[in-house]
Structure 1
Amino acid sequence: MGFHGLSALSGPERNTQHTKLSETLSAEQYFEGLMSDEAYETPSDSVNLEELEMKLPSWFDETLYNKGRRFFWRFCFGFGSVMMPGLVAIFAVPTILQVLVCSRRSSSKYTAFKRYIATFLHVKAWLSHDLKPGSLSWRSLYAVRSRHIKNGRAARLKNQGTVSQRDLALTMFGTIGLGVLKPDRFGIRQDNIEETREVCKLILERVYTPCLENVPEYFEHMARVMMDGMWAVNGATEAGSLMYITKNLADVPGYVLTEAERIVLQIKLKEKLAGKHEDIGVDASTLIEKSSLQETKYEPRLLYLRNYDTLDTVPEYKKLSYASKYKLTLSFIMTAFYKTYVGRVLLNWYYITALYMSEYFPYVAFFLYGIKNSYVNIFNDSPIEDSSPKVNAEYYKPQPPEPWYRVLLAFW
Structure 2
Amino acid sequence: MRAKREHIDDVQPATVDKHFDALINDEETIDYDPSEDLTPTDFPEWYDEKLFKAGKDYYDSNMVGLTAASLAGLISVLSIPTILKVLIYTKQSGTSCTAFKRYFETILHSRAWYMDDATTKGSDWFRSLNVVRWKHMISSRRSFRDGFGGIMQRDMAYTQFGFLGYVLIEPEYLGLTNTPEEREGINHFWRVLGHMLGISDRLNICRKTEAETTQLCRRLRTEVFAKYFKELPPNFLHMAEVMVDGLWVIDTTLNTDTVFAVAYRLNGLTYHKPLSTWSWLNLKYRELIYTLLGSSIFGPVLRVYFKHLLAFQYWMTLNFPVVAWIRYGKEESKINPYPKFK
Partner SS state of residue 35, structure 1: helix
Specify which of 77, 82, 85 is matched with residue 64 of structure 2. Answer: 77
- 1:354-411 CA deviation, whole Å, 9 max, x = no partner? 2222222222112112234323111239xxxxxxxxxxxxxxxxxxxxxxxxxxxxxx
Q: Contact 2:73–2:161 (CA<8 Å) still a contact in 1?
A: yes
Alignment of 1:25-36 (within 5 A): 25-36=14-25
Cα offset for 1:205? 0.8
Provide the residue aligned with 2:311 in structure 1: 352
Specify which of 78, 87, 107 is matched with residue 74 of structure 2. Answer: 87
Whole-Å separation in 2 of the counterparts to 1:12 and 1:375? 38
Cα offset for 1:231? 0.2
Output the amino acid matched with 1:104.
K
Output the amino acid matched with 2:66.
F
Provide the residue aligned with 1:44 in structure 2: 30
Output the amino acid matched with 2:98.
T
Cα offset for 1:230? 0.3
Distance 1:12 1:34, change over 3 A: farther
Scaled by the length of structure 2, the TM-score of the pair is: 0.83
Whole-Å separation in 2 of the counterparts to 1:12 and 1:149? 20
Whole-Å separation in 1 of the counterparts to 2:264 and 2:74? 12
Whole-Å separation in 1 of the counterparts to 2:84 and 2:149? 10
Provide the residue aligned with 1:68 in structure 2: 55
The reply to whether residue 21 of structure 1 matches residue 39 of structure 2 is no
Partner SS state of residue 92, structure 2: coil
Provide the residue aligned with 1:197 in structure 2: 214
- 1:280-337 CA deviation, whole Å, 9 max, x = no partner? xxxxxxxxxxxxxxxxxxxxxxxxxxxxxxxxxxxx25x2222211211111121122
Partner SS state of residue 232, structure 1: coil
Whole-Å separation in 1 of the counterparts to 2:4 and 2:221? 28
Alignment of 1:205-220 (within 5 A): 205-220=222-237
Provide the residue aligned with 2:240 in structure 1: 223
Gap regions ≥5 residues in structure 2: 181-209
Distance 1:105 1:133, change over 3 A: same
Q: Contact 2:38–2:129 (CA<8 Å) still a contact in 1?
A: no
Gap regions ≥5 residues in structure 1: 1-10, 256-315, 382-412
Alignment of 1:44-193 (within 5 A): 44-47=30-33, 49-50=34-35, 55-131=42-118, 132-192=120-180, 193=210
Distance 1:53 1:342, change over 3 A: closer
Provide the residue aligned with 2:265 in structure 1: 248
Structure of greater Rg:
1
Whole-Å separation in 1 of the counterparts to 2:167 and 2:3? 26
Q: Contact 1:44–1:165 (CA<8 Å) still a contact in 2?
A: yes
Specify which of 281, 285, 293 is matched with residue 338 of structure 1. Answer: 293
Whole-Å separation in 1 of the counterparts to 2:320 and 2:10? 45
Whole-Å separation in 2 of the counterparts to 1:116 and 1:130? 22
Partner SS state of residue 27, structure 2: helix
CA RMSD of aligned residues (A): 2.0
Partner SS state of residue 136, structure 2: helix
Alignment of 1:177-326 (within 5 A): 177-192=165-180, 193-252=210-269, 254-255=270-271, 316-317=272-273, 319-326=274-281
Cα offset for 1:207? 0.7
Q: Contact 2:38–2:126 (CA<8 Å) still a contact in 1?
A: no
- 1:245-301 CA deviation, whole Å, 9 max, x = no partner? 21121112x43xxxxxxxxxxxxxxxxxxxxxxxxxxxxxxxxxxxxxxxxxxxxxx
Scaled by the length of structure 1, the TM-score of the pair is: 0.69
Identity fraction in percent:
28
Distance 1:178 1:12, change over 3 A: farther
Output the amino acid matched with 1:184.
E
Whole-Å separation in 2 of the counterparts to 1:52 and 1:160? 27
Q: Contact 1:186–1:335 (CA<8 Å) still a contact in 2?
A: yes
Q: Contact 1:12–1:56 (CA<8 Å) still a contact in 2?
A: no
Cα offset for 1:53? 5.8
Output the amino acid matched with 1:374.
S
Whole-Å separation in 2 of the counterparts to 1:206 and 1:12? 36
Q: Contact 2:73–2:162 (CA<8 Å) still a contact in 1?
A: yes
Output the amino acid matched with 2:334.
Y
Cα offset for 1:169? 0.8
Partner SS state of residue 284, structure 2: helix
Partner SS state of residue 161, structure 2: helix
Distance 1:356 1:52, change over 3 A: closer
Partner SS state of residue 57, structure 2: helix
Whole-Å separation in 2 of the counterparts to 1:188 and 1:373? 36
Whole-Å separation in 2 of the counterparts to 1:111 and 1:201? 32
Q: Contact 1:338–1:347 (CA<8 Å) still a contact in 2?
A: no
Structure with more contact order per residue of length (Cα contacts < 8 Å, sep ≥ 6): 2
